[in-house]
Amino acid sequence: MTHSSPITRRQALAALAAPAWAGQAVPAGQPPNILFIVADDLASWMLGCYGNQEIRTPNIDRLASSGVRFHNHFVVTPICSASRATLFTGRVPRQHGIHDFLTPNPIEQPPQGQKEPPASFARETMISDLLAAKGYQCGYVGKWHMANDTNPGHGYQYTYTMDGGSSRYQNPTMYLNGKAVEEKGYLTELMTGQATQFLEQQSGAKPFFLTVSYFNPHTPYDGHPQRYYDLYAKTNFETTGWEPAARNALREKNLLQDPVGNLRKCAASTTALDDQIPVLINKLRQKGLDSNTLVIFTGDNGFLLGRHGLWSKGLASDPINMYEEVMQVPMLMHWPGKIPVQATRPELVSYYDFLPTVCDAAGVKVPAGGNLCGRSYLPLAMGKPLEKKKPWPTYVFGHFRNTEMARDSRHKLVWRNNGAGPNELYDLRTDPREKRNENENPAFLTVRDRLVQQLAGWRKRTG
């Protein structure tokens, strides 16, 4: 595969003007292609399709309306490396061994970062391993951040990746199939260019699995094309709910010194990401691949952007937080003829459910022996009834270092240090912004005990 130039603005606009994202259903039993798009630090609440009124994401919103949007989709860990490891293995931190973001310089007090995964992580089975064994052509473009960043392996025949968890947005150093390339141009468009190169090579003879893992809207907030900053020059972000810096704020507290200015920059980065979606969809259409391609869009963890007086994610505070903003990420799925359009689902689904879901779509068996706790939500996405004997689980769980979470459709427990605290309990129906900690409220004792019991059961199942 040859190196490609970045997508131009004219190409993006042409894609935007293309017909509605549709397609004809294909014969039953034919494995689908899978285009999986991951954004870095993108929370559900930051998107128009999840109710945001100020950050412009028309193309992501359009993708949502062309398929199903899961209203309650959660990460297990609100930090990148650990979250990604769960996404691609279906296993949780106590199983796969990545508990934090990977960095050569972790901090001891309070603990932030992990130098490297355990040696056993190299033996983890990922989605790409399973699909490659099934005959899929597998490609990975963008941020990896699970060790071996320049040459991920795991069945990928084509890779275009960053080294580590961060990069500059202009003229980055990238790794094309393991070989360093000094690029010229905008990182986000370079990734899209390489993704479309991969799609250009697909003939339809074999199914493909392509992950496009964008860095947007992760910091730094400089380096994006000026046109995106200009979009927000007069936006005051009066509806985002940012608050003055909290006392326990840690990472990126400096960004709270000018919250509106930095919200403008983050919004610019998010809209730049949004402009990539129609380019990828248009390439599928040009190649005649759109009719049998399952398109999935998510984020690797949520983000606060000033809510609760914090800027980033789980490590934005001491102690670690598991607010809704950092735990909920988008889950959008589009598959012509298979998934109904303009659909929403209320069920609680998790990152640990993703691998079983993709396996279900591709007709691949979930690996035995991995002690996976997830379940395929493909029937929910397709609007199919579940077996009466196997209703959908009513709890989701989280785990980040010394902090765990158990949540149902109304209440959320944040349980620290095996119950030694500090602990939190919220009634999300009456307190959706998590302002009133009910952990010591006698009226919530039964609720707390029930969630503690559910969390203990999940911990045992994944031990």
Residue 10 in this model has a pLDDT that exceeds 50:
no
| Whole-number pLDDT of residue 308 | 98
Largest CA distance in the chain: 65
| Whole-number pLDDT of residue 28 | 57
Residue 11 in this model has a pLDDT that exceeds 60:
no
Average of per-residue pLDDT across 274-302: 98
Summarised one tens digit per residue, pLDDT across range 174-214 is 999 999 999 999 999 999 999 999 999 999 999 999 999 99
**Assigned architecture for domain 402-463:** 2-Layer Sandwich (3.30)
Find, among 394, 392, 330, 389, the residue nearest to 356 by Cα.
Answer: 392
For residue 92, what are the CA distances in angstroms to 71, 201, 350, 373?
22, 35, 11, 9
| Whole-number pLDDT of residue 271 | 98
**Considering the chain, what percentage of its residues have pLDDT values greater than 90?**
92
Assigned token pair, 42: 């993108």
Average of per-residue pLDDT across 117-145: 98
The pTM (predicted TM-score) of the whole model is: 0.94
The answer to whether the beta carbons of residues 334 and 37 sit under 8 Å apart is no
The answer to whether the beta carbons of residues 222 and 266 sit under 8 Å apart is no
| Whole-number pLDDT of residue 29 | 67
Residue type, 299: G
Find, among 109, 220, 203, 120, the residue nearest to 167 by Cα.
Answer: 220
Mean pLDDT of the chain: 94
Nearest-5° angle of CA 161, CA 164, CA 167? 75
Say how many CA atoms lie within 13 Å of 112 toward its Cβ: 14
Assigned token pair, 448: 């707390």
Residue type, 125: T
| Whole-number pLDDT of residue 369 | 86
Average of per-residue pLDDT across 229-243: 97
Across 86-189, the runs of DSSP E, i.e. the strands, are 137-142, 158-161, 173-176, 179-182
20-57 exposure pattern, b = at least 16 Cβ within 10 A, e = fewer: ebebeebeeeebbbbbbbbbbbbbbbbbbbbebebbbb
| Whole-number pLDDT of residue 1 | 40
- Domain ranges in the chain? 9-18+30-386, 402-463
The answer to whether the beta carbons of residues 88 and 296 sit under 8 Å apart is no
The answer to whether the beta carbons of residues 244 and 256 sit under 8 Å apart is yes
Using CA atoms, how far apart are residues 232 and 217, in angstroms rounded to an integer?
Answer: 15
Could you tell me how far CA 183 lies from the centroid of its own chain?
Answer: 26
> Which of the two residues, 149 and 13, has the higher pLDDT score?
149
Using CA atoms, how far apart are residues 219 and 203, in angstroms rounded to an integer?
Answer: 37
pLDDT tier at 5 (50, 70, 90 boundaries)? very low
Residue 15 in this model has a pLDDT that exceeds 90:
no
Q: Can you count the helices (H) and strands (E) in the chain?
A: 13, 14
Residue 317 in this model has a pLDDT that exceeds 50:
yes
Beta bridge partners of 412: 407, 426
Pairing of strands 424-427, 411-416: antiparallel
> Which of the two residues, 24 and 399, has the higher pLDDT score?
399
| Whole-number pLDDT of residue 4 | 39
Using CA atoms, how far apart are residues 102 and 162, in angstroms rounded to an integer?
Answer: 14
Average of per-residue pLDDT across 318-326: 98
Task: Look at the domain 9-18+30-386 and name its fold.
Answer: Alkaline Phosphatase, subunit A (3.40.720)
**Considering the chain, what percentage of its residues have pLDDT values greater than 70?**
94
The answer to whether the beta carbons of residues 49 and 331 sit under 8 Å apart is no
Find, among 159, 197, 201, 166, the residue nearest to 181 by Cα.
Answer: 159
Summarised one tens digit per residue, pLDDT across range 164-173 is 999 999 999 9
* Sign, Cα dihedral of 219, 221, 227, 231: positive
Q: What is residue 402's DSSP assignment? A: T
